[in-house]
Amino acid sequence: MRRLDEARKSGGAGLAGAGAAPHDVYTLPAGLPVPEDDGGADHLVGLELPSLVLESSLGDMNVRDFDVIYIYPRSGRPGVPLLPGWDETPGARGCTPQSCAFRDIHGELAALGVRVAGLSAQSLEDQLEFAERNAMPFPVVSDPERRLGEALRLPTFEIAGLTLYKRLTLVAEDARIVKVFYPVFPPDANAGDVLAWLRAR
C-alpha cells in the first residue's frame, strides 16, 4: 500500500492515535495510507443531483442548489479520541483540513459564482459544533441516514460499527454532475484542485 511520505500541513502540531494523547484534528500526520480508486464513483458523471432537502449548519438545504459538494467521512473534535483504526484506514483522516481549505478559498469560489457545501453522515449537532468552531461560511450538511448516498449510490466504508461516506467531491452544472474527484488525497489539497479545475473550464 502506498503511503504519504511527507504530510501536507494545515497548521498545528503532530497527533497521536486513538486512545493516546490528544491529537490535532487540523494536521495531517505523515505516513497516512493513500486510498486507491476502487471504481466506486465511476457511475456518477452525468447523473442529476436529487431534489433532496437536508439539515445543515445554515438551515435546511436542497443539495440541487450547490455547484460543489465535498463529501467526507467524519470530522473530529479536539480532545475526542479518534475511532479505532482511523489513521490506518485509507482516506479516513483529514476531514477538518479539507473543510478548512474550502473555507479559506470560499471567497474565490464565490467570485466564480460557485456555491459550495460540505456533507457527511454526522448528526446536525456535530455539524453545528464543527461549523461554529471553524467559522464555516457555507453550509455543513447532515445526512445521518445517507439519503444522498442512496440516491446516487455513493461509496461507503465500515468502521467501528459505523457506515460512513468515502471522501469524494462532486462538481455540478445545473444540478448535473460534470466532474468527480475520487479518491481524494491528500484531503487538504482538494479545495485547490477543485478551484483549478473550475478556472480551467
Low-confidence ranges of the chain (pLDDT < 50): 1-22
Contact in structure between 182 and 52 (CB atoms under 8 Å):
no
- Please tell me the predicted confidence (pLDDT) of residue 103: 98
Whether the CB-CB separation of 140 and 131 falls below 8 Å is answered with yes
What pLDDT does residue 4 have?
34
Which residues touch 187 (CB under 8 Å, ≥6 apart)? Answer: 28, 72, 93, 94, 95, 97, 98, 101, 167
- pLDDT of 27 reads 86
Residue 87 confidence (pLDDT): 95
HEC profile of the chain: CCECCCCCCCCCCCCCCCCCCCCCCCCCCCCCECCCCCCCCCCCCCCECCCCEECEECECEEHHHCCEEEECCCCCCCCCCCCCCCCCCCCCCCHHHHHHHHHHCHHHHHHCCCCEEEEECCCHHHHHHHHHHHCCCCCEEECCCCHHHHHHCCCEEEECCEEEECCEEEEEECCEEEEEECCCCCHHHHHHHHHHHHHHC
Reference 189, options 197, 200, 179; nearest CA is 197
Count Cβ atoms below 10 Å from residue 158 Cβ, excluding itself: 9
Q: Grid coordinates in use for 178? A: 460534470
Nearest residue to 183 (alpha-carbon basis) of 163, 159, 157, 162: 157
pLDDT at 11: 33
pTM over 0.85: yes
Predicted local confidence at residue 24, as pLDDT: 83
C-alpha cell at 164: 460512513
